[in-house]
A = this chain, B = another copy of it.
């Protein structure tokens, strides 16, 4: 992934990151600031267990969706299952940020990621915030530092930018994300932050975000484990001076398309960096009776350890794919099913088609392996992206806490 450049930056946003001591000698605190009040939209985890910053940020979003100023995020601790003192820690973080920016605490979104159930040493964050916010800059290197400060088991920073024009004015969208494990976003992903200098109402912003997230962040899975801290947030400050986007105009379509593209690239970057992953798997189920059926089957295949380990070895074991579909709880006729693996037809009418096993094995070792299953019982389609399952996933997760 190339580094971000000045051409990627929406106007009116500043960025800063620091190492406050939650992680040993690594960036672990980041701030994204809109220099003027900004429209905001966000989606949060549907896990019943929700981290303190999620609970606080939901409340702040409700109060300040027309005038948000900042997102403050720490890695190294999820501040989840930490009780009233965890909630107080998130509140103090918002209050200190607001004091530095000269705004109200509810104009700040707070996010955390890392280990669950360990008290957050908020003193380290509070101590670092004043200097952090003083050195914030509207530069690509400052943004690049934020993309690193939010990493946990990620092996690389993940960002994406798009731009388009409204009435001769350039409008930019820039996003970053983190996530490698505990990834089966449900209405949001681990953490994703997007800023744009478009002028748009919070209502339209929320609708564009919902549409974009549905086929991107909500269509990926690394391990089927939905996080307690999933948050995707977008700030739109209008600093491009382009005319305001309205629901019916083509401007909205341009914006929604660019936003979806940013979300798609961020979501695929998460899967490609999935813990221990060596390749991205695209699972498309077509010919289903309903989209829900197609998605359920695609997700069951995507989360099957037997399918994912076969994909790690480049093993064309299509029987496991069919078996996973069969246990998804969706009615279909196995004897009509067709399966393509890495572009080769391996199963027709539920039966094996003769194929060159060695050649297909080699093709399945590439970075991007598509799987297509056609149920031939309807017209609905769904796509899910996942990664393979390797010994490194185990190594990374066998001693995360200790």
A residues in contact (CB < 8 Å) with B: 46-50, 78, 80-83, 115-119, 181-182, 184, 186, 223-228, 303-306, 309-310, 312-320, 322-328, 330-332, 334-335, 347, 349-352, 357, 361, 389-391, 393-402
For A335, the chain B residues whose CB sits under 8 A away are 83
Chain B: minimal CB distance from A188 (Å): 13
- Closest Cβ neighbor of A358 among chain B residues: B402
Q: Which of B224, B395, B398 contacts A304 (CB 8 A)?
A: B224
Q: Kindly list 17 other residue pairs between chains A and B, CB separation below 8 angstroms, not including A48-B328, A82-B352.
A: A49-B322, A49-B323, A83-B335, A116-B317, A116-B322, A118-B319, A118-B352, A119-B352, A186-B327, A225-B320, A228-B322, A228-B323, A305-B397, A309-B398, A313-B397, A393-B394, A394-B394
For A83, the chain B residues whose CB sits under 8 A away are 335, 349-351
Q: Say yes or no: A402 contacts B361, CB within 8 Å.
A: yes
Q: Which of B119, B181, B334 contacts A49 (CB 8 A)?
A: B334
Q: Say yes or no: B347 contacts A81, CB within 8 Å.
A: yes
Q: Which of B117, B181, B350, B352 contacts A306 (CB 8 A)?
A: B181
Most buried by B among A310, A312, A390, A394: A394
With the chains together, A184 CA to B304 CA distance in Å? 11
List, sorted by A's number, 19 A–B pairs whose CB atoms are closer than 8 Å.
Answer: A48-B325, A83-B350, A116-B320, A117-B322, A182-B306, A184-B327, A186-B327, A223-B305, A224-B303, A225-B304, A226-B323, A226-B327, A305-B305, A305-B389, A309-B398, A314-B402, A315-B398, A315-B399, A315-B402
